[in-house]
A = this chain, B = another copy of it.
Amino acid sequence: MNYIGIDLGGTNVAAGVVTEKGELLGKASVPTPRGAEAVADAIALAARQAAGATGVPLSGIKAIGLTAPGSIDPETGVALRVVNMDLENVPLCDMVSRRLDLPALLENDANAAALGEYVAGAGWGHKSLVAVTLGTGVGAGAVLDGKLFTGFNYAGMEAGHTVIRRGGRQCNCGRKGCWETYASATGLILSTREAMALHPESALWQLAPASDRVSGRTAFDAAQTGDPTAREVVENYITDLACGLANLINLFQPEVLCIGGGVSAQGEALLAPVRTILDREEFTRSSPRRTQVRTARLGNDAGIIGAALLGEYR
């Protein structure tokens, strides 16, 4: 049997038909409309289009899995608050289930992405995976002993909101010094801007002629040209990133830890120095059985694939 996975985002509703082994057979996408009923319509439309494009009839689909950014209740299938979409307390599973006559399941985006990577990406063939996404924030999800881990209230794995520098940068969660204020793309951009303000001579100004042109790539690009200010920004970024990764490894000891999101596009320029720090800081650094640290493999498809397979791994 096949599944349909839906990745509900602020811009597009992406749908995919996925085998029970996590193979993506085909995709479709429609723009995200405003309003709960319209969103449910768009989900149904995208699902039908993906099924049509793949040549799989809806009667051949076992269930549909939905993923959305924000807080959700997987038990009731209600989207409690979806980021950037003005959806509050929407019984999304019921609404989609009624439109497609299929069982529907709901999970948040970081957890679904972790499940996708576990089944069909960086964690394939392994017992456990922690997936970290470096984007606007730092998202994380975990599959432990073959099951999606979410905590008793489905709110676990907020790794971005663990403090690594007590009293440090103000986080929008209310705490100070959260990992995501340093290790997210947003944190990297802030650090780049702070360094530019202090160093008018830096090559960072050539790459980003105005402070509002800074991206998560700016410091990495300028560091490659040898700019000392950019190098310091990158080194600090990597030290903070590795600090939080070592914390996660010392706690979870997953067989694989994968890193996705925009910043992970730096590949080995990011991972090689991260591994050097982990070789010093991991509690198990002298053990033969250590967590493998890799980049994520599925990109934006992780959410679709993970959503599709919720029924199998929850």
Instruction: Write out the residue numbers on chain B whose beta carbons fall within 8 Å of the beta carbon of A239.
Output: 166
The docked-state distance in angstroms from the alpha carbon of A157 to that of B161 is 18
Report the Cα distance A154→B159, complex, angstroms.
Answer: 21
Q: How many residues of A contact B (CB 8 A)?
A: 46
Using an 8 Å CB-CB cutoff, how does the interface string of A125-165 with B read, 1 for contact, 0 for none?
A: 01110000000000000001101011111111111011111
Nearest chain B residue, comparing its CB with the CB of A145: B147
Q: Are A164 and B163 in contact (CB under 8 A)?
A: yes
Q: Are B253 and A152 in contact (CB under 8 A)?
A: yes
> Please, which residue of chain B has its CB at the minimum distance from the CB of A244?
B163
Cβ distance A241 to chain B, nearest Cβ, rounded Å = 11
A250 at the A/B interface (Cβ < 8 Å)? yes
B161 pairs with A250, CB closer than 8 A: yes
Closest Cβ of chain B to A283, distance in Å, is 5
Alpha-carbon distance A246/B164, docked complex (angstroms): 12
Complex interface: chain B residues within 8 A of A109 (CB) = none
A175 vs B245: C-alpha distance when bound (angstroms): 13
Shortest CB-to-CB span from A288 to chain B, Å, is: 9
The answer on a CB contact under 8 Å between B152 and A281 is no
Contacting pair A166 B128 (CB below 8 A): no
Bound together, the chains give a CA A57 to CA B291 distance in angstroms of 44
Max count, chain B CB within 10 A of own CB: residue among A128, A162, A243? A162
A144 contacts B149, CB within 8 Å?
A: yes
Contact of A156 among B150, B252, B280 (CB under 8 A): B252
CB distance from A140 to the nearest CB of B (A): 8
A166 to B254, CA, bound (A): 23
**In the complex, A253 Cα to B158 Cα: how many Å?**
9
> Which residues on A are within 8 Å of B, measured CB to CB?
126-128, 144-145, 147, 149-159, 161-166, 173-175, 239-240, 243, 246-247, 250-255, 280-281, 283-285, 287, 289-291
- What are 27 inter-chain pairs, A to B, with CB distance below 8 A? A127-B152, A128-B151, A144-B144, A150-B253, A151-B252, A151-B254, A152-B253, A152-B254, A152-B255, A152-B289, A152-B291, A153-B287, A153-B289, A155-B283, A155-B287, A156-B250, A156-B251, A156-B252, A159-B250, A159-B251, A162-B246, A162-B247, A162-B250, A162-B251, A164-B166, A166-B239, A247-B247
